[in-house]
Amino acid sequence: MSKSDHSSFPLSPFPLWFPALWAGGASLTFPSHGLSYPPMKSCEPDEIQSRSCKLGPHWVTLECRGGKVASVALGKRGARDDRKLAKDLERVLQGGMIPEYLHVDTAGLFGFTRRVLGRCAGIPTGQVMTYSELARAVGSPRGERAAGQVMANNPFALLIPCHRVVGSDYTLHGFGGGLDMKEWLLAREGWQFEGKGKSRKLAGRPTQARESRA
């Protein structure tokens, strides 16, 4: 479905039930677009490395610990522009496999946060979910605001694509890299927009978008 067609939205097709991410430390793969996360392993606290790159006009900085990504900071200028990292992130954003060195360190994530991040990780390139849909998908139909908080504090932006989660009226809400970067990321995936500033939203009619999922 073309994202230039304003009559409908290609929302995430996954069913409302979705397994908890990394449950029991087991590897979990999302076959729709090749996302793969390995079992959790202990990390030495002194094994910390920072890598940065530019995606378009936007800086991305990864803090790595014990061979896994511990956090992703958006808009933080790095010491140098790592083009290999940029290419690998570009590939991930296009739906490709996540290289081993970009596997995320999920230690310390539990319960609702873990489930929400796991479900968000399953949103394919070019599709979106609303915060309320995300909450329902993890079994918390009244957890829209809580799901929004998890997205706002997502430590693995881009690798877990919280930019693909929008408001119930398809308005763009808070994002670690700012709304300009969120719009830039979604535009790269083919989306068009209407409005400006905080009123920016995906162009189209939400009622028909929901009908398209039936």
Q: Which residue has the higher pLDDT, 90 or 31?
A: 90
CA end-to-end span of the chain, whole Å? 15
Q: What is the pLDDT of residue 24?
A: 32
Residue-wise pLDDT tens digits, 23-53: 333 333 333 334 444 443 444 555 788 999 9
pLDDT of residue 204: 55
- Over the stretch 139-186, which tens digit does the pLDDT of each residue have? 999 999 999 999 999 999 999 999 999 999 999 998 999 999 999 999
Active site residues: 162
- DSSP H/E element including 146: helix 144-152
* Domains of the chain in sequence order: 110-211 (1.10.10.10)
- pLDDT for residue 164: 97
Please name the residues in contact with 12: beta carbons below 8 A apart, sequence gap of 6 or more. Answer: 122, 123, 124, 127, 128, 129, 133, 164
Q: What is the reported pTM?
A: 0.77
Over residues 84-111, mean pLDDT: 93
78: pLDDT strictly greater than 70: yes
pLDDT of 120 strictly over 80: yes
Say which residue the tokens 């014990």 belong to. Answer: 66
Structure token digits, residue 145: 């605001």
What is the predicted pLDDT for the residue at 37? 40
Report residue 20's pLDDT band, with 50, 70 and 90 as the boundaries. very low
Q: What is the mean pLDDT of residues 93-108?
A: 92
Task: State the pLDDT confidence band at 63, using cuts at 50, 70 and 90.
Answer: very high
